[in-house]
A and B are shown apart, each in its own frame.
Chain A
Amino acid sequence: MNDKKFSSSSYFQTIQDKKIIGSKCVDCGAVHLPPREICATCLSENMEEVSFSGKGELAAYSVIYVPPTAMIEAGFGRDNPNVAGIVKLVEGPMISAQIVGLDTKNPAEIKIGTPLKATFVERGDRVFLAFEA
């Protein structure tokens, strides 16, 4: 494993520890989740760790009846669809995540803007960041 501070392996390691750690640009203040080594706003490499509260709201979603293999292996499918969404975090960034605790029987009733909080779900031998209503 590499020892980079802001990498996909460092990010998923913090998720395994049930923490949400992104990066913040010391020069321009932009916050990034997942963390980046190079600021996407100003290209600075001067980044520090920033902890996210896990609070946000639903920006977009789909109830997925034909899931990818990894979700089928986790028990999802036509009769038990998974919800994938884009979450706008209170700190600013948006992130893709599984959304749990919604009524998938009535997808049209799910509301954009629903307040969400982070939760951690296990699939296979890994922990993933998810959000619940």
Chain B
Amino acid sequence: MRKSRKLNRGVAVVGVGMSNFGAFPGMSSRDLFVDAFKEMRTSVDKGFDPKEIEAFYLGNFSGDLFEGQAHQAPMLADWVGLSPIPAARLEGACASASVAFREGLLGIASGMYDMVMVGGVEKMTDLHISKVTDALATAADITYEVSAGFTFPGFYASMASAYMHQYGATPETFMRVGIKNHENGALNKKAQFGARIPDLMEAKKTKALQKGKPIPTWKDEIEFLSDDRANPLIAWPMRLFDCSPVSDGGVALLLVSEEIAHQFSDDPIYVIGSGSASAGALHSRPSLTSIPSAKLAAQNAYEMANVTAKDIDLAEVHDCFTIAEIIATEDLGFFDAGKGGIAAEEGLTSRQGPQPINTSGGLKSKGHPVGASGAGQIVEIWKQLRGQAGERQLDKSPRLGLTHNVGGTGQTCNVHIFERR
């Protein structure tokens, strides 16, 4: 039974750190997380003693399959000098870090702890790409979904096929999301593919010229993205540039109770809404163009925060595939059902638009180390709300930010709302 609930006491994020996202041969999850932890330490305005951290919650999807290493929470706690505090790994596929974040939030809100660390880490690029596809597929129902020949790009591509049929979208609709996220990611030094699509096109032309090969003559980004050679199909209608990359990365966040937030921070960012929901296999749901757990998690988060979609200044949403961002912006209530694609085409979700989405570059451009991605979204919101997002900083002094983190095709979804006071 769904009941509207409030947190027992307020919680604030007073420190954030993240490693670069990308492919880093020779770096383990441990190394990535240490980078994140070091940056988190320096991000706390007034400093803090890490020995005051009382518990650690780590999001990690599958160190087991990606690195042959399970049980990383106590290992990483030890590696940053925090043993013997309680340390637990939380798994919710690509939503693992937001599952961990919610547990950390509840740990403080319940009164059990005053200060906790939430992390996320994934090291995906050591494994051969075919094995990565299989490892990611374990986030779906292996028995009843994957046995049909589905991959993750395939699931989202199927949602895209239903979306195109229902609302008249075209592959170009999806491409607009990728172009926009690359524009944003180009301003993020930590992004894995931080290059604008037009710059990638120029680079390819230059390379062809140097090699003495015919120089491609794409007239615009859409023609480039529709070129089977430049942008191969992965799972029709999703092409390579519709898919987030395989990534390595780590994130660390410091949470404290509201009462003590100003001891550590000049400008704490408060967590005012948290919603979480689950769902069965994609085929078991009434709609294939919406994710029910996302709608419910959003509704719960909005109710807790006592705000509506209209109040949200910016959002980091789970764009594991371009279609996913469009569906997310509808499920979150930013646009009506079927209108998210048009909104993307019209630039409403760009940094200059009325509803900026994925100013960080999103998973698409920034990278998608699955167990860390949900925490990475919080890093961006924290920086934007504090006016510290550098070149990609929104002009309008945002006050409310939202994160939307999906596991699988929506078997898990967590939505969080953040406020600058």
Binding site for B on A (CB under 8 A): 8, 34, 40, 59-72, 76, 81-86, 93-98, 107-108, 112-113, 128
Contact = CB atoms under 8 A, between A and B. Distances in A.
B147 A64 contact: no
A1 B232 CA distance: 44
B158 A61 contact: yes
A83 to B, nearest CB: 8
B151 A68 contact: yes
Given A34-B144, A86-B158, A65 B149 contact: no
Given A86-B282, A112-B165, A65 B235 contact: yes
A60 B150 CA distance: 12
Contacts of A63: 233, 235-236
Interface in B144-170: 144-151, 153-155, 157-162, 165
Contacts of B149: 64, 67-68, 70-71, 76, 82-84, 98
Determine the interface band of chain B, counting residues with CB < 8 A from chain A. 35 or more
Contacts of B134: 68-69
Given A61-B161, A62-B161, A96-B148, A68 B282 contact: no
Contacts of A59: 162, 288
Contacts of A64: 149-151, 153-154, 157, 234-236
Nearest to B140: A96
A67 B130 CA distance: 8
Given A68-B149, A76-B149, A96-B148, 17 more contacts: A62-B155, A62-B161, A62-B236, A63-B236, A64-B150, A64-B157, A68-B133, A68-B150, A69-B133, A71-B149, A84-B148, A84-B151, A85-B148, A86-B283, A97-B148, A112-B165, A128-B148
Contact of B161 (A65, A69, A82, A112): A112
Q: Which 10 A-B pairs have the closest CB atoms?
A: A62-B157, A107-B236, A60-B158, A112-B165, A96-B148, A63-B236, A60-B162, A84-B149, A94-B283, A62-B154
